[in-house]
Chains A and B, each alone.
Chain A
Amino acid sequence: MAAQPDIHLYTTQTPNGIKISITLEELGLPYKVTKIEFSKNAQKEPWFLGINPNGRIPALTDTFTDGKTINLFESGSIQQYLVDRYDKDYKISYPRGTREFYDVNSWLFFLNSGVGPMQGQANHFGRYAPEHIEYGVKRYTNETRRLYGVLNTHLEKSTSGYLVGDRCTIADIAHWGWVAAAGWAGVDIEDFPALKAWEEMMLKRPGVEKGRQVPDPHTMRELSKDSDAAKKAAEETKKWVQEGMAADTKK
């Protein structure tokens, strides 16, 4: 008999973290959650580095088909693993070898090598950096806007409203948390109507609604619209980001 899933997600309330909880909810898989407290630098504790040497979330462990534990990090590969192993009905993926299968992969890497890192840099310079550097803010909000433009143009032509083919896939899920936090990065979603419509359509999915609240309530959409509350939240994050920067420099 094939080993039963025994999925354990290590995460925190961030765009990259909720990709995985949304994927799990969409697939209807049971999972345990351990919250990794960034404010206590838990992501750099030895036990966690044993699961993810990169010291970042999300990470996931499961019982593999051979009965042994598998540890995975990198949200993109975790999503690929989950659909490869569990999405037998292709609810949020396509069969290997099809054109759609590879299109999903292009968009998945687009998010993980483009939107994620660049919007992340926009957040850094706009919200967390110790010193205000106008060029840094502009450079990365502009690049994020360029990437959103690529998404918007593509979605304008989509007949289903999703990125690839007729269904919501792991590529859409990977993007959602980032796009929902556009305002936090200084990008006005109103400038990208097709992307905005897609973001709202995604939110209506029960799996997105449930998965986005893991491990804590998802507040990014509201924060993005309330600049005072956003400033306060950013101050809290700023503290551990700057401590983390100082710790990295000592390595």
Chain B
Amino acid sequence: MSKPITLYSHATGPNPWKVAMVLEELNVPYDTKFMDFADLKKDPYEQLCVNGRVPAIEDPNTGINIWESGAIVEYLAETYDTKHELSFEKGPEKYQVKQWLHFQMSGQGPYYGQCAWFNKFHPERLAAPTERYDEQVKRVLYVLNKALTGKKYLVGEKCTIADISFVPWNEMLGFILGDKLASWDVEKNYPAYHAWHQSLLARPAVKKTWEAKQKVASGGGQ
């Protein structure tokens, strides 16, 4: 039995939950430490993650510490997915998984994050930037929908860490856009994307993790 990995997380921020989903999928034991944003940009946390953001992990089994959610899920797959249930050992698929993971990290995360900022958090509504990031989000939906048309998953015939990595931000769209989301008619305009996201949400490990997030976010304890 491996010793539990420590996952540094946050109640509402989406990025750490992608790591939790992969840990659940792979049945790797872990303990979650929920951090306050105020404690991230100072020691001791900055010793672990110089960028002062979550997630980060400490793995007592290998002595490896890693930050950046994309790097963490690649590490978890390489270290613990020995049966290649969520990854590919070789072939072009091995690199296509990396490709979509990078797209999630550089194309989805930052833009959805900015979209959330201008729609929800910035004290004053600024039309042009809000519109800009709404359009960027639509572009991501368009690219995913196109890539998924006629396919169940992004790479090959199985769900991989690349698919899982999109779930938290996909699922945040309702919160980010509120009533506006209905007018986007995601199911009709991005049908392959919609079916894919629903199938990912129905996975027991994903479902369990997201329910845990909702509980923690609503203050329902850890």
- B-binding residues in A (CB < 8 A): 53-55, 64, 66, 68, 70, 72-77, 80-81, 84, 96-97, 99, 102-103, 105-106, 108-110, 112-114, 116-118, 121, 124-125, 129-131, 133, 135-136, 147, 150, 153-154, 245, 248-249, 251
Contacts and interface: CB of A to CB of B under 8 A. Distances in A.
B64 A102 contact: yes
B106 A110 contact: no
Contacts of A99: 63-64
The 9 closest A-B pairs by CB, nearest first: A117-B110, A109-B68, A74-B102, A77-B98, A105-B71, A77-B99, A76-B102, A113-B105, A109-B70
B71 A108 contact: yes
Given A54-B103, A64-B92, A251-B142, A80 B98 contact: yes
Interface residues of B, number: 43
Contact of B103 (A74, A97, A121, A150): A74
B66 A105 contact: yes
Contacts of A106: 66-68, 71
A117 B140 CA distance: 14
Contact of A105 (B75, B106, B143): B75
Contact of A54 (B71, B98, B101, B143): B143
Nearest to B147: A53
Contact of A251 (B51, B74, B114, B139): B139
A217 to B, nearest CB: 26
B219 interface: no
Contacts of B52: 150
Contacts of A249: 135
Contacts of A112: 70, 102, 105-106
B98 A113 contact: no
Interface string B63-95: 110111111001100100000000000011001
A113 B135 contact: no
B126 A133 contact: yes
- Output the residue of B50, B52, B66 with the most chain A CB within 10 A: B50
A121 B102 contact: no
B78 A96 contact: yes
A74 B126 contact: no
B92 A102 contact: no
A110 B55 CA distance: 12
Contacts of A102: 64, 66, 71, 75
B51 A81 contact: no
9 contacts: A64-B91, A70-B95, A72-B95, A74-B103, A76-B98, A105-B68, A112-B70, A124-B132, A248-B135
